[in-house]
Amino acid sequence: MEKILLIDDNKEYCDQVKKTLTLRGLDLSFYTNGQDGLESALNNSWNVILLDVYLNQDLDGLDILKILVEKKPRLPVVMISGASTLQTAVDATRMGAYDFLEKPLDIDRLIITISRAMELNKLSSLSENLLKELGKQPTLIGQSAVLKAVYNEVLRIAETDTKVLITGESGVGKDIVAKLIHFHSGRVSEPFISLNCAAIPSNLVETELFGYKKGAFTGAYDSNPGMITRAESGTLFLDEIGELSAASQAKLLKFLNDGEYFPVGSNEMLKSNARILAATNKNLQDEIEKGNFREDLFYRLNVMQIYIPPLRERTEDIEPLSNYYLKRACEKFGKNITHFSEESMNLIRQQRWQGNVRQLKAIIYRMVLFSHSNIIDYGTAATAIQMDRTNESVIESNTYDQALIEFEKLYFLNQLQSNSFNLKKTARNAGIELGKLKDKLELLKIEYKGLS
């Protein structure tokens, strides 16, 4: 339901307006104190603000209007007054008020004004979000059957409004899947808010999720909306949900049960309609058996589940992913590298990629930084991979001879890297003549021409 906030110092009048609008199916809350009303307007999600011009307080309506226009320029503010002049109306409109209504309010006109203001708010929000998303649509890169199945599941689930648990190893792209669900849902024009549960100390999870009021604790000099408030009408993505402490799990469960929450230090109950997506690289059922994760929370989150297989189980995706990140890296670093050599791509395909897509991306970026030509050759690829060993062999060689060749390649690539690609120094440190080093590099198909 759309939310309307009225700020007026006459409580009897506020009660009357609330009763009238409630009968028309509109949800109105009010404050008779201007400062409290301003804080609520700034820290919560409202569709329209109704604001009295004369509050007979330290902070009057025009003061509040000025602050709202500065800090929340898209939020429609309708000024109301029973003792206004034409100049007051003109001043308020010039300051950024959406409209100006005189008391006693004509209810039909008020309803029409509110409806138009809410429509303006929606169109403004949609336009802003579409501009942000333009050219930034999340994408699953690959051609494997399993990845296509994941994408089809995303499209099916996006049409619903249910909670989703996204599982898979670190680096497989769980955050991309979460963004895709949001992008293809009816909430695309609303916020997508992400919270990494592993990156926040357990004692701060509550304030990050639910927000807090000014003065709620030492250091709370201003009120701060939490992630749930910021995600209002949109999507809240709880990444690494398996890292939540027991206390944080209990508080999250209570919120998921009824959608209601209190900012820390506040007695005002808020209700959220944000969609909840969660992700984990842990087996939560194993964690439940170990006593590390609440079973009731698991079932609350696991209404629908999407599993993303590791990259080693969908090797068909390695080449398109590599080409995608090659293009991205070239744009980032201002290089013109057109493709991978056949040998370098074969080497990339043969990796185990324990860090999945995240590891692949990092190493492709490193290859682009190392490359001094318009292609990624074997030497550049092997050097970049060797620098990110992660305790795995470069390839899983089938024979001793193949393993020996790979060892020699890596040995000389490491030598070149350690000696800043100086051939004479490399030959001296390796204990062989310069001519023999060149012969060995040619035999191993390691590019050395142009090196000193």
**What's the CATH code of the domain at 184?**
3.40.50.300
- Residue 323 near residue 368 (C-beta atoms within 8 A): no
In a shared domain, residues 262 and 325: no
In a shared domain, residues 154 and 299: yes
Output the pLDDT for position 117: 82
Output the pLDDT for position 123: 57
- Residue 101 near residue 109 (C-beta atoms within 8 A): yes
As a whole number of Å, the end-to-end CA separation of the chain is: 71
Q: What percent of the chain has pLDDT over 70?
A: 89
Q: How many helices (H) and strands (E) does the chain have?
A: 19, 16
Phi-psi map region of 218: left, alpha, beta (phi>0 left; psi -120 to 50 alpha): beta
Could you tell me if residue 451 is inside a domain? no
What's the mean per-residue pLDDT of the chain?
86
Distance CA 312, CA 198 (A): 25
Confidence of residue 122 (pLDDT cuts 50, 70, 90): low
Output the pLDDT for position 395: 47
Mean pLDDT throughout 34-42?
92
Among the three residues 263, 289, 309, which one is the final residue of a domain in this structure? 309
Among the three residues 252, 285, 309, which one is the final residue of a domain in this structure? 309
In a shared domain, residues 164 and 303: yes
Mean pLDDT throughout 180-191?
92
DSSP string, 285-335: HHHHHTTSS-HHHHHHHTTEEEE---GGG-GGGHHHHHHHHHHHHHHHHT-
**What's the CATH code of the domain at 324?**
1.10.8.60
Could you tell me if residue 450 is inside a domain? no
**What's the CATH code of the domain at 76?**
3.40.50.2300
Mean pLDDT throughout 353-369?
93
Could you tell me if residue 140 is inside a domain? no
Output the pLDDT for position 452: 66
Among the three residues 75, 101, 133, which one is the final residue of a domain in this structure? 133
In a shared domain, residues 327 and 305: no
Output the pLDDT for position 214: 85
Output the pLDDT for position 343: 87
Distance CA 337, CA 320 (A): 15
Closest of 279, 257, 76, 48 to residue 168, by C-alpha: 279
Could you tell me if residue 138 is inside a domain? no
387-398 residue pLDDT tens = 765 434 444 445
Domain count, the chain: 3
Name which residue leads in pLDDT, 2 or 103: 103
Residue 451 confidence (pLDDT) above 50: yes
Mean pLDDT throughout 418-430?
82
Mean pLDDT throughout 57-85?
84
In a shared domain, residues 321 and 432: yes
Distance CA 67, CA 97 (A): 11
Q: Would you say how long the chain is, in residues?
A: 452
In a shared domain, residues 124 and 151: no
- Residue 77 near residue 51 (C-beta atoms within 8 A): yes
Confidence of residue 137 (pLDDT cuts 50, 70, 90): low
196-217 residue pLDDT tens = 988 887 778 888 899 888 888 8
Output the pLDDT for position 412: 81
In a shared domain, residues 155 and 32: no
Could you tell me if residue 10 is inside a domain? yes
Domain coverage including residue 170: 145-309
Distance CA 242, CA 294 (A): 10
Could you tell me if residue 449 is inside a domain? no
List CB contacts of 90: < 8 A, sequence separation 6 or more: none
Could you tell me if residue 226 is inside a domain? yes
Least reliable range by pLDDT among 175-179, 288-292, 348-352, 438-442: 438-442
Output the pLDDT for position 390: 42
In a shared domain, residues 317 and 235: no
Output the pLDDT for position 247: 87
Output the pLDDT for position 169: 96
Output the pLDDT for position 132: 46
Confidence of residue 91 (pLDDT cuts 50, 70, 90): confident
Output the pLDDT for position 133: 44
Mean pLDDT throughout 283-308?
96
In a shared domain, residues 156 and 277: yes
Confidence of residue 286 (pLDDT cuts 50, 70, 90): very high
In a shared domain, residues 51 and 83: yes
Residue 409 confidence (pLDDT) above 60: yes
In a shared domain, residues 163 and 300: yes
Residue 419 confidence (pLDDT) above 60: yes
Could you tell me if residue 165 is inside a domain? yes
Confidence of residue 330 (pLDDT cuts 50, 70, 90): very high
Least reliable range by pLDDT among 113-127, 191-205, 371-385: 113-127
Mean pLDDT throughout 431-447?
84
Residue 131 confidence (pLDDT) above 70: no
List CB contacts of 277: < 8 A, sequence separation 6 or more: 163, 164, 166, 178, 181, 182, 235, 236, 237, 238
Output the pLDDT for position 87: 72
Closest of 419, 422, 319, 414 to residue 376, by C-alpha: 319
Name which residue leads in pLDDT, 72 or 64: 64
In a shared domain, residues 9 and 54: yes
Mean pLDDT throughout 282-302?
96
